[in-house]
Amino acid sequence: MPLDHLDPDGEMISLGLIRLQAGDPGRRIGSLVVNPGGPGASGVELAEQAPAIFGSDILDRFDVVGFDPRGVGQSAAVECDDDLDSFFAVDTTPDDTEELEELRTAARDYAESCEEQSGELLAHISTENTARDMDLIREALGEEKLTYLGFSYGTYLGALYAELYPENVRAFVLDGAVDPTLSDEESAIEQSLGFETQFEEFLDTCASERSCRFHSDGDPEAAYDALMQRIDDEGIEGSDGRVLGPGEADIAVVTSLYDGRQGFTVLADALAAAEDGDADPLLALFDLYVGRDPAGNFDGAQASFLGIGCVDGSDRLSAEEHDALAETVGEAAPRFGESGVNLGYACVYWPADPVGRDGPVRATGAPPILVIGTRGDPATPPQWAESLADQLDSGVLLRLDARGHLAYGDGHECIDDLVDDYLITLTVPDDGTTCDP
């Protein structure tokens, strides 16, 4: 691919792709391109997992094609300082000017390391550039029109593609939709509130069930607040010598909230262990989210996440403006708002300017596009799917009445059947159809 799509004959970069060929070539419809979200997650890895996600109807009729977007994984990837233990060790809810300066220094140092190691690439990894890559992938696959399934951030990629190339859309499924009309502040508040709501459901569930390991005599909220204060004050040492601090703990808790009821059990067990002085379960949740292996190596997803997220932003904030945003979001969502915003502090010092845009995506002229929202989705709240389906001239909304992030391929027969039928026959469900879990 051209590094700069405005200079198609200039410097080139490579993309990593993988294809699982259709199981029944005589009934093959075409290629199904997939993206798992992030930004920064690997489409190659998602396609490798296709047999665990898709049923035989899809696997027989489509080649499943995954690619790592520019900036990610096996493609031309963002590279930064790989000592992320110290990067995440800072307190993302600073209590004083000293802790705030530590947060700023860690963010500045990380951004500078990305500039040193990745250079010009950082200015060319926006989602719009990836959408343009995706159309060249369509051409390389020999497809007249594209069939696509995107999860979470992948819905934004799909929506931008449909906006740029509506005439090249065959069937698009956007599961866990992102709302392109939201400002950075609105997006941060609504997502933080999504996690707060999910966490309140966890506390209510744990308080009502004595089998919950963090039941705490019916008051898990007080026990949680006391535990988080203890972690903030002194930390809890893990078996590998790492100290669980407030930044890692917040990430660990949020990680468990992606998975609905199953995540509640995992979270209760991890909090109970931490209360007993065992930080390992919470550290394992943190490691899962940030891509850290037992040897302390990180998978590069954090660099990709920040690299794409920073250039997709609509504004470059000063440190003072960032602090004001963190305070505003923290007031709206007291448990997770401030820490969530401050995980992106490196964008203040990012060497590439933001090129994102706020505003509706219409995809005028595209055929029906299926947009899925899950009632209890903390990461991409259901109102985002409703908004995106309304924006798209041909948007069709499908709801799942369940907890957790994302709907398709997670054992919800109603969702899977409707999506599969659409991908194969182009038959869309009635707008607003709701599936029970």
Active site residues per annotation: 152, 377, 405
Do 245 and 214 contact (CB within 8 A), yes or no?
A: no
> Which tokens hold the place of 35?
């993206």
Q: Name 151's bridge partners.
A: 175
Q: What does the block give as tokens for 170?
A: 């065959």
Contact 207, 219 (CB under 8 A): yes
CB 375, CB 412: distance < 8 Å: no
- Closest alpha carbon to 307 in 15, 17, 80, 42: 80
Q: Which two tokens stand for residue 293?
A: 């292996």
Q: Can the peptide bond before residue 382 be classed as cis, meaning omega within 30 degrees of 0?
A: no
Kind of pairing between the strands at 17-20 and 62-67:
antiparallel
* Rounded Cα distance, 355 and 419, in Å: 33
Which token pair is 210?
């004595």
What crossing angle do the helices spanning 280-290 and 246-257 adopt, rounded to 10°? 70
Question: What is the distance of C-alpha 359 from the center of its chain?
Answer: 20
Structure letter (DSSP) for residue 77: B
Q: CA 374, CA 261: separation in Å to the nearest integer?
A: 14
- CB distance 404 to 260 below 8 Å: yes
Backbone φ and ψ of 65, nearest 5°:
-120, 125
User: Distance of alpha carbon 384 from its chain centroid, rounded?
Assistant: 14
- Please give the Cα distance from 66 to 318 (Å, whole number): 37
d(CA 289, CA 435): 29
- Residues with Cβ within 8 Å of 49's Cβ and at least 6 positions away in sequence, in order, are none
Q: Which amino acid is at 374?
A: T
Contact predicate 152/176, CB 8 Å: yes
Instruction: Choose among 285, 60, 275, 54: nearest CA to 175.
Output: 54
